[in-house]
Amino acid sequence: MAQMVSPAGDMEVTFLRVDGLKNKIVVVSKFGVWDSKIYLSPDEIAHIIRLMLKPSVLLFLLIFPFLFIGSWLFRREKT
C-alpha cells in the first residue's frame, strides 16, 4: 500500500486497477476512505515519463527486480 504524506495529513493509497479509456489512462484507487479515479491524458503521461528520466529513478528501476525478488524470498522464508 502506498503512503501519501501531505500537510493535510497522511493517508494510505491503494491502487486497484489501471484501464485504458479512449485517449486516457484511468487509475482506479482507494484514497484513504474514498474511492477515486485519476484520468491521465497523453500529455500528462509524457510529463510523468520526463519526470522519471533522472538518475535516481533510473537507478532504482535497474535494481528494482533484485529488491522485489529479495523481499519476496524474505517473506517466503518467514512462513
Q: What is the pLDDT of residues 26-56, one digit of tens each?
A: 999 998 888 999 999 999 999 999 999 999 9
Q: What is the pLDDT of residue 30?
A: 93
- Residue 14 in any domain: the answer is yes
Structural domain total, the chain: 1
d(CA 74, CA 44) in angstroms, rounded, equals 36
Q: What is the pLDDT of residue 77?
A: 67
d(CA 34, CA 18) in angstroms, rounded, equals 17
Q: What is the pLDDT of residue 74?
A: 79
As a whole number, the mean pLDDT across the chain is 91
- Residue 68 in any domain: the answer is no
Full residue range of the structural domain in which residue 36 is found: 1-40
- Residue 48 in any domain: the answer is no
Instruction: Assess whether pLDDT exceeds 90 at residue 73.
Output: no
pTM to 2 decimal places: 0.72
